[in-house]
Structure 1
């Protein structure tokens, strides 16, 4: 799913567009015991609660595609009658009316979700009449042929709020306020099936994680039967290792800067496209080639890619570089410069020692104090002395 498709589902979480038919959930304590359960027609809830649930559901479809929102495909084996995809499909088709399936779902989540405190599992069923779109992109709500029927789950931590004083109007005094257990924004969740090309895609699902580096692999692999993808940080580290191992002795400052400049160009060129730019094995090889990697180091690139990243790995371009800053780091010094100003830095060997030189044309400050740069004539006179 891309950003536009995700936003289209998010827009349903209002009273005007609500397509949710049923909500179920359970509150789990730190000992992994279910304390209470919820089973209701969604619109039968009090209006104040409905709006709070809308906010949770919107959060479950928020963040960056490729970091917080991960598209996952089911392996063929999981689409067999005894597979995880087939089981999720059965749960969806039950419209959350099957008690046995619901209990089985809760048990799977509780067993595989790694969290040592209290949390609230929320599961909804919805049926969305997909409006057709005219040539100008306008939605035609009276022309709908397809229905997108889906499940969405949000897993929310439940934490005790902070101790505080409050004003008691009945007693007209200030006193200690009784602390309450508060449902927080979701840490994890999923949408099944995926909404790809504005329609149902039974072969995929969308997974949400608040922290891109905490992916809950047991949840992905045991409950959904999907392979855990590389996190955003994992993609960056794998790409860095791949560049280092491929270039070897040719891994110099100019080549690495050129790689990141070309990555930023790819991101800029495709920033208005619904799909975030990705790099497959041939595209990574081409990136290295146009960035100045010698032809001889690319002769064995395919083998190096498979060994480092895996044959089918795709990198999200925005996970590999920063469009805001280029970082140059030594054991003692860290320099950050905007990518378009990378030419201000250069490497040079002077008297047999390697130096990183920074061109100074404008004002320089040290701890906020402006200093006067050394001029050419001053530097020249000092060297003569």
Structure 2
């Protein structure tokens, strides 16, 4: 799915825009025991309560594609005949009224989610009359040709509030605020089926994980039965390791800056082009970047082979997962230097009298613990 397609669905999570009739829920304690379940009508809730539930669900469609949101692809065999796909279809087609399917999903979540404390499983089913979009991007609501029916599942931690002092305006006095349980933003969740090309795609789903360092592989396997997803943070660490090992002694500051600068350039150009398709690169694209930075052919081939071994041959990754677009960090065991990417020219490495140095040009505005100093 593209960012625009995700945003199109996310905009529906307001009381006046969605067609969600009811919410299914399951509260689970720290011992993985079901504390309570509910089937609550949105129409019977107050507008504030409805808006807060929808806001919580909407966060399952937040974050970046390839970072917090990952496309799940089912095989043809899974779609034709598999337990996991039949369960998801039963939930969607029954509008969450198939009790056996709802309980089966709840149990799969309980069996596989590792979460400290209590949590809440939320299930919603929406039907979206997809508006026709003309060539200039304008939508025509009265020219819809498809209804996109889908389910959204959110798994949210439930935390106890801390004791606090509260001012009670209606009594004009201060008082103790009672301790209560509060539902936090979703930790993980999914949308099924996928909304690819603004249409129903039964061969796909969209998976959400708030933590870019943990993709919850047990949950992914239980719900979708596909290969584990490599978290965004692990992608960056693996890429950095491959780069360093492949280039060995030739992995210089200039080469690393060159590759990362080119990746940032692709990201910026993609952003300016307003292209809908997600930006991805593979080992062949990075190999060309390495060659442009003067890396020898033997080392670029080593990089290609290591990339294929770690990620898979031709596996496309988001450049945003491979490089920090906000800063360049230069680190030694004792010193860490952070530089804006557009001022990397201020930093260089040099060997002086046989000793290795990181040099930073400092013309003015130098402070030590908040004190302006002068360099004589």
Tell me whether the two structures share a fold, i.e. TM-score over 0.5. Answer: yes
Q: 1 CA distance for matches of 2:84 and 2:23?
A: 21
Could you list the per-position Cα deviations for residues 53-91 of structure 1 after superposition, in whole angstroms to 9, with x for gaps in the alignment?
111122111122222222221244432412412321122
Is this contact kept in 2: 1:166–1:174, CA < 8 A?
yes
Q: Which moved more, 1:293-302 or 1:317-326?
A: 293-302
CA distance in 2, matches of 1:141, 1:72: 29
Aligned 1:107-146 pairs, distance under 5 A: 107-146=107-146
SS at match of 2:21: strand
Alpha carbons 1:267, 1:317 under 8 Å: kept: yes
| 1:60 and 1:208 in contact (8 A); partners too | yes
Aligned length: 374
**1:41 Cα deviation from its structure 2 partner:** 4.2
The 5 Å alignment of 1:177-256 reads 177-256=177-256
Q: What is residue 72 of structure 2 aligned with on the other side?
A: 72
* Cα-to-partner distance string for 1:80-107 (whole Å, 9 max, x where unaligned): 4124123211221121111111111111
Q: Which residue of 2 aligns with 1:43?
A: 43
Render the CA deviation track for 1:172-219: whole Å, top value 9, x for unaligned: 875544322222221111111111111111111111122222321110
**Deviation digits for residues 290-324 of structure 1 (CA, Å, limit 9, x no counterpart):** 22211221234432222233325332111221222
Check the 8 A contact 1:22/1:95 in 2, yes or no: no
**What SS is found at the alignment partner of 2:117?**
coil
Partner of 1:381: none
Residues 241-280 of structure 1: pairs in structure 2 closer than 5 A: 241-271=241-271, 272-280=274-282
TM-score of the aligned structures, taking structure 1 as reference length: 0.90
1:151 Cα shift? 0.3
Say if 1:104 and 1:254 are closer, same or farther in 2 by CA, change over 3 A. Answer: same
Q: Where does structure 2 lack aligned partners over 5 or more consecutive residues?
A: none
* 1:361 matches 2:353: no
- CA drift at 1:261: 1.1
Q: Distance in 2 between matches of 1:178 and 1:358?
A: 54
Cα RMSD for the two superposed structures: 2.2
TM-score, normalised on structure 2?
0.92
Query: Matched residue of 1:70: which SS?
Result: strand
1:334 aligned to which of 333, 336, 354: 336
Note if contact 2:119-2:157 (Cα within 8 Å) is conserved in structure 1: yes
2:53 counterpart SS class: helix
Separation in structure 2 between the aligned mates of residue 10 and residue 178 of structure 1, nearest angstrom = 33
- TM-aligned CA distance change 1:7 to 1:170, over 3 Å: closer
Aligned partners of 1:350 and 1:184: how far apart in 2? 54
Per the TM alignment, residue 3 of structure 1 is displaced from its structure 2 partner at its CA by: 1.5
The alignment partner of 1:279 has SS state of: coil
The unaligned stretches of length 5 or more in structure 1 are 375-385
Q: What is the aligned partner in structure 2 of residue 305 from structure 1? A: 307
Distance of aligned partners of 1:175 and 1:299 in 2 relative to their CA distance in 1, 3 Å threshold: closer
Q: Would you say the 8 A contact 1:96–1:102 is kept in 2?
A: yes
Contact 1:241 1:308 in 2 (8 A): no
